[in-house]
Chains A and B, each alone.
Chain A
Amino acid sequence: MSTKSDKVDRLGELSAVKQDERGVSLWAEAFRQLRRNPSAIVGASILLLFVIISIIGPWLAPYSPTDTMGIREGVIKPGLIPGPSAEHWLGYDHQGRDEFSRLLVGARQTLLVGVISTLIGLTIGALIGGIAGASAGLGGRIGRAVDGVLMRIVDMLLALPSLLLAVSIAALLGASLTTVMIAVGMVSVPVFARLLRGAMIAQSGGDYVLAATSLGVKKSKIAFTHILPNSLAPVIVQATLTLATAIIEAAALSFLGLGNPDSSIPEWGVMLADAQQYLGARPGLAIYPALGIIITALGFTLLGEAMREALDPKLRK
């Protein structure tokens, strides 16, 4: 009896190892494809630049981003914010601070907002989706019930206006950068949950799952060692794309006045939101951070789309 179950376990492990190899080659092949895809290269280069700036930006900045030198020197007057000059490449902001320095330093906060909020959404969403997908895949009355309840909750989250969700989170926690991160992250939870669940259910129909089941491998083991790893590709692609939307949504929340009220730590979304009031006097103040956000989001989007192409066997013709 025990020898038989040992044998089954061994067979299960063998098939699991085989599965891993397939998994590795999928990623290796995808990477190989990415390197040949020009939009992936462009996207990755943009992101690399963005990451470098966000790391060394404070040292590159010619001035302190918080020094209100324009006011001190008296060059800022009501209705007049001096534009680019030799000393100040992008001019002053509305509080007389060096705009170029603020942009360089602000990259870090922007990246942090994007990454952390995406991680929040990914973690919670994948947890819900993973449990739902595993329960649905395992089947049985209980499994289906768990899946049904979880998905109903996700549907409710989806039916709720996303910005409203974000705004009410901000009301609960007060306006701050943390609020923005949590709010933006929560909005993407249902997307990740549905995606992972869908992929896992699709995978559980795969032949290798049938093979493992026929070998007598435990269902829960199949779910976590076979189905889950093979369902991650779309989630990772989505995470890359969500990084872009997260940065944009964070800017929107700042625009609504829910961002970091302390403008001494520059962040592109807050800078853009602040600049709306001075659009008539200095449109540049809005355009620079907006361009920063657009280009960065574009970088994530390009890379994400290229990854989707590389990882989707259907698109790989």
Chain B
Amino acid sequence: MIRFIVRRLLQLIPTLFGLSILLFIWLRRLPGGPETAILGERGTPELRAQIRANLGLDEPLLVQYGRFMQRMLKLDLGTSISTKREVTTEFLERFPGTVELTITAMIIAIGVGIPLGYLAARRRGSFLDSASVGGSLIGICVPVFFLAYVLKAVFSEELHMFPSSGRQDPTLGATRITNFFVLDGLMTREWDAALDALWHLVLPGIALASIPLAIIVRITRASVLEVLSEDYVRTAQSKGLSERTVRGRHILRNAMLPIVTVIGLLTGGLLSGAVLTETVFAFSGIGAFLYEAIANRDYPVLMGFIMIIAVFYVLVNLLVDVSYSLIDPRVRVR
């Protein structure tokens, strides 16, 4: 198992290397550059050249890449062109927000999706079944940003139940330790700050959860239905085991296999930035920041963020493979 994990981590190195080259070339090929973002349409050619030279963009691509790699090896991601702050600092400030949002969304999606999918399968053909199948079909078809706007309009602007934007009420003056606001609040015992941060997560969390929820309901239902027709479930019942043991040990444990894979893929996708949801709720995570970075051609931010996201993506998938082999002894991890 450990050898498998180490090997997968080693495989990460050439993947990242390849990705960095592709990304580097791809970004530099985009028309315009940071100087356009800084100066706009005005700005003399001399001024533009000056800025490019300051940023080291006038050198050959290979030299630029070499310098980038040099810094990368020292774990230095450089400085953002538009905010003039360290890319690492920017990342550590924003990524926790995205992680909090992703975790919230996945808790909702898994917490509601698996029980609902399970019940739908057990009561196949019932109203609950048709409703959850129908609901999940519709859930997939509703554009996330539209849902986000509707949630915001109804629960925040009409009913004033939840805050409409941001990650926390700035007037609270909460202490920052990890930049995971909920965690910070708990660590500093600023309960109101933690609760406020949690409150800010509800609406964007629901909006972001809609598609994963729909997918998890359907995959759970399909998977449980398949397991229910298996002989070993009948064997378990023939032993007179309690409903709980049959459900947990014999049905869900087997049904989890495809569900775990899907959850991994979905989590990886959400981590890479929920641009739409973060935009609607002015939630400062990496999604909206990355989007701006593209518009500004903020090369260091783009390179740094995307590389780290790719690492996380691979790590999440590794986690999926590991848990898969923990659940299913037949999948031998080599």
Contacts and interface: CB of A to CB of B under 8 A. Distances in A.
A272 B147 CA distance: 12
A248 B276 CA distance: 12
B313 interface: yes
Nearest to B152: A279
Contacts of B314: 159
Contacts of A252: 143-145, 276
B81 to A, nearest CB: 15
A164 B272 contact: yes
Nearest to B18: A156
Given A156-B22, A164-B273, A298-B137, A283 B153 contact: yes
Nearest to B137: A301
B15 A305 contact: no
Chain A CB within 10 A, most for which of B141, B269, B279, B309? B141
Contacts of A177: none
Given A161-B272, A161-B273, A171 B153 contact: no
B161 interface: no
Nearest to B140: A301
B277 to A, nearest CB: 11
A280 B150 CA distance: 11
A284 B266 CA distance: 32
B306 interface: yes
Contacts of B138: 294, 298
B15 A156 contact: yes
A162 B141 CA distance: 18
B275 interface: yes
B247 to A, nearest CB: 23
Nearest to B14: A152
A163 B31 CA distance: 19
Contact of B137 (A245, A280, A302): A302
Given A168-B27, A248-B143, A301-B140, A159 B19 contact: yes
A7 B19 CA distance: 50
Contacts of A305: 137
A162 B157 CA distance: 31
A244 B140 contact: yes
A155 B309 CA distance: 14
B313 A172 contact: no
Interface string A131-169: 000000000000000000000100110111111100110
B278 to A, nearest CB: 11
A272 B273 contact: no
Contacts of B146: 251, 272, 286, 290
A159 B271 CA distance: 11
Interface in B105-159: 137-138, 140-146, 149, 153, 157
Contacts of B137: 298, 301-302, 305
Contacts of A161: 269, 272-273, 290, 306, 309
A256 interface: yes
B31 A172 contact: yes
B19 to A, nearest CB: 5
Chain B CB within 10 A, most for which of A159, A248, A252, A286? A159
A270 to B, nearest CB: 13
B190 to A, nearest CB: 33
Contacts of A248: 141, 143
A255 interface: yes
B294 interface: yes
Interface residues of A, number: 37
B30 interface: yes
B143 A290 contact: yes
**Chain A interface main SS type:** helix
A256 B275 contact: yes
A160 B310 contact: yes
Given A156-B19, A156-B22, A172-B31, A251 B143 contact: yes
Contacts of B279: 256
A34 to B, nearest CB: 17
B15 A152 contact: yes
A276 B18 CA distance: 40
Nearest to A168: B294
B294 A167 contact: yes
B291 interface: yes
A293 B140 contact: no
A293 B143 contact: yes
Interface in B166-183: none
A152 B30 CA distance: 24
Interface string B27-42: 1011110000000000
Contacts of A317: 229
B149 A286 contact: yes
Interface of B: 15, 18-19, 22, 26-27, 29-32, 137-138, 140-146, 149, 153, 157, 229, 268-269, 272-273, 275-276, 279, 287, 290-291, 294-295, 306, 309-310, 313-314
Query: Lowest 9 CB-CB distances: which A-B pairs, in order?
Result: A161-B272, A297-B141, A159-B313, A159-B310, A298-B141, A294-B141, A290-B146, A171-B30, A255-B145
Interface of A: 152, 155-156, 158-164, 167-168, 171-172, 244-245, 248, 251-252, 255-256, 272, 276, 279-280, 283, 286, 290, 293-295, 297-298, 301-302, 305, 317
13 contacts: A152-B15, A156-B22, A159-B268, A160-B306, A164-B290, A168-B30, A171-B32, A172-B31, A244-B140, A290-B143, A290-B146, A293-B143, A317-B229
